[in-house]
Amino acid sequence: MSDGHLSPGPSAAMAVVAAFLWATYFFFVLALTPGTAPSAVIVYPFLIAGTVYVLWAALWGHGSAVVELFLDPRAWLRVVFLMTMQLSVLACTYASGAVDTSLLALLGDAAVTPLVAMVILREGRHRARSPAFVGGLLLAIAGASLTIVASGRAAPFRGLTLLVAPLVPLSIAAFYILSAREGQRRPSSAVVGEATLAAGVVSVVVAGILPGGWHGLVLTTGTQVALLLGVGVSSFFVAPALYFRAVARSGIVLPGLFQVLIPVFALLLSILLLHYLPAALGLLGIPVAVTGGLLAYRGAQSPAPPASRDEALLTEGGTLAPDAPDDPGSPATGVK
């Protein structure tokens, strides 16, 4: 990018890999069902990923930042949003399947997050004036939605799920925006690591009121252990780690844009793993989503106009505190 910002190419690559790993979450859940209690599906990925995250932060010398966050009341708000996000995603997956749930996650990542950043936080608003970015974003969301709806796998939300469903996009946007903003002062490995491990500890405490209860935390097969390790490391650790490195380089809008690929990857995985062949209209949504994503990607590379310090550069990248010693410094905060 211009104006001293880092090239968006690596950020796009990291965001694409993160989208693929998040798409695998639904298939881990399907593989764990019905033999594994929902309480275990909630608790163990948090604990596994949180432990790895905190060890990773400590490896880079950020252990003290993790401790500070555990003592910071504001950090626990992110824990609430993270738990709300995961509980609502799991509930919608059980009630209406991966298809509808991936659409809700898509809306949170690719629509609600950039809208909140640009409209409410008043950051990166110049992108709203880019026809390529806005048109590409709308086209990408339309293509991904077409992939989901026309696949024939969507199940309508009913009953209590209608109340839970809106929590998915709202909690996703809230957690990732708040985490990115905190990451302007502290390394993202510490910020997300503390939130994930704290969510794991809290989920153990409240497991008694979750489906399956505390006795559901007892794992009886090696397959359960392997699958929970897999989802904990892939969807709960590697995916968000890549996502926040992409945010550090290019801002929060660009990585969120590439999350339109989650339902596309979910459909492709359905074909490979479940031998499901969707309708032709559903397959048409894939190139539409990819084309829209590429168009918005090009529009997102337009130079930003001069911004005041109050507007910051959260949506333009280079604002997160570095994790590794060789990470680039932050032009907005002066962190080296």
53 band by pLDDT with thresholds 50, 70 and 90? very high
As a whole number of angstroms, the distance between CA 149 and CA 147 comes to 6
Nearest Cα to Cα of residue 29 among 268, 326, 167, 234: 234
Higher pLDDT, 324 or 168: 168
Element (H, E) at 308: none
As a whole number of angstroms, the distance between CA 330 and CA 261 comes to 29
Helix, coil or strand: residue 235: helix
Cα torsion through 112, 7, 328, 19, rounded to 10: 40
Query: What ranges in 183-316 are assigned the alpha helix state H?
Result: 188-205, 222-233, 239-250, 253-257, 261-273, 280-300
Asked if pLDDT for residue 1 goes beyond 50, the answer is no
- Tell me how far CA of residue 102 lies from CA of 11, 45, 113, in angstroms: 22, 19, 15
Signed CA dihedral, 72, 76, 82, 83: sign only? positive
- Tell me, what's the pLDDT at 227? 95
Higher pLDDT, 213 or 1: 213
- Tell me, what's the pLDDT at 3? 41
Whether residue 306 has a cis bond before it, omega within 30° of 0: no
What is residue 90's DSSP assignment?
H
- Tell me, what's the pLDDT at 301? 63
pLDDT tens column, 81-140: 999 988 888 877 776 565 556 666 666 665 666 666 655 555 555 566 667 777 777 777
Percent of the chain scored above 90 by pLDDT?
Answer: 30
Helix, coil or strand: residue 326: coil
- Tell me, what's the pLDDT at 312? 45
In a domain, 238, yes or no: yes
As a whole number of angstroms, the distance between CA 85 and CA 244 comes to 17
Residue type present at position 279: A
In a domain, 329, yes or no: no
Nearest Cα to Cα of residue 56 among 184, 249, 189: 189
Higher pLDDT, 140 or 13: 13
Percent of the chain scored above 70 by pLDDT?
Answer: 68
197 band by pLDDT with thresholds 50, 70 and 90? very high
Nearest Cα to Cα of residue 43 among 228, 169, 171, 222: 228
pLDDT tens column, 201-222: 999 999 999 889 999 999 989 9
43 band by pLDDT with thresholds 50, 70 and 90? very high
236 band by pLDDT with thresholds 50, 70 and 90? very high
As a whole number of angstroms, the distance between CA 119 and CA 208 comes to 40
Signed CA dihedral, 280, 286, 289, 292: sign only? negative
In a domain, 194, yes or no: yes
In a domain, 212, yes or no: yes
- Tell me, what's the pLDDT at 222? 92
In a domain, 327, yes or no: no
330 band by pLDDT with thresholds 50, 70 and 90? very low
Higher pLDDT, 197 or 109: 197
pLDDT averaged over every residue in the chain: 77
In a domain, 285, yes or no: yes
What total of structural domains would you count in the chain? 1
- Tell me, what's the pLDDT at 262? 82
Cα torsion through 229, 44, 201, 179, rounded to 10: 60
Length of the chain: 336
In a domain, 170, yes or no: yes
pLDDT tens column, 286-325: 777 777 777 776 766 665 554 444 444 444 555 556 676 6
- Tell me, what's the pLDDT at 185? 82
- Tell me, what's the pLDDT at 138? 76
Print the domain residue range for 82. 8-300
pLDDT tens column, 249-277: 777 777 777 777 887 787 788 778 877 76
Q: Angle between the 188-205 and 63-70 helix axes, to the nearest 10 degrees?
A: 50
- Tell me, what's the pLDDT at 320? 59
Nearest Cα to Cα of residue 175 among 110, 82, 312: 82
- Tell me, what's the pLDDT at 116? 64
- Tell me, what's the pLDDT at 204? 96
In a domain, 161, yes or no: yes
Task: Work out the angle at residue 30's Cα, subtended by the Cα atoms of residues 155 and 231, and round it to the nearest 5 degrees.
Answer: 125
